[in-house]
Amino acid sequence: MAKSILHIDASARRATSVTRDLSKDVVARLNGDVVTRDLFDALPHIDESWIGANFTPEADRTDAQKELLALSDKLIAEVKAADVLVIGVPVYNFGIPTNLKAWVDMICRAGITFRYTEAGPEGLLTGKRAILVAATGGTPVGSEIDFATNYMRHVLGFIGITDVQLVAADRLSVDAEGSIAEAKAQVAELAA
């Protein structure tokens, strides 16, 4: 049975993006049915009206509130339908770009993708795999100043996705050729 893959691109660069190129290589290696969500055209950020709609019980939501949550519902449906998420994670100023953070805010919804229990939060999107494809100019991936990949691992685990792998082309400003070659080797080692 073919895998369902959700491919998230978050780079502000279209033509020269390392994460876009490497994440395409990952998707090709996985060989499944692909849905691509390009965050180049930024998602709206959540605001007071969105939060109010989100915390209104579904049965009590007005048509306007339902409309405010429609994009979030669609993004969550994409995640739920996927067996594997391939997420391009460009590291900007030690963190993720705002368009990727807006996506995270839209998919992390209590009662839908996670819930709170007496034992703490419980992710509801279990049984999925995620592959983060990171690129940095100078930040070593996994270091104490990498607030991007560590954050994405945490967020994915929070919603129940604990099988998270990382392909990293870090420190591109130091050794771009070597870093990209190492990342391509990591892609080649990924289990399809």
How do 129-135 and 84-90 pair as beta strands? parallel
11 is in an annotated binding site: yes
- Give residue 123's Cα distance to chain centre: 15
Q: What is the rounded distance in angstroms from the CA atom of residue 28 to the CA atom of residue 31?
A: 5
Angstrom distance (rounded) from CA 169 to CA 131: 13
CA distance 155 to 170: 21
Measured in residues, the chain has a length of: 192
Binding-site residues, please? 11
The binding site for FMN comprises 11
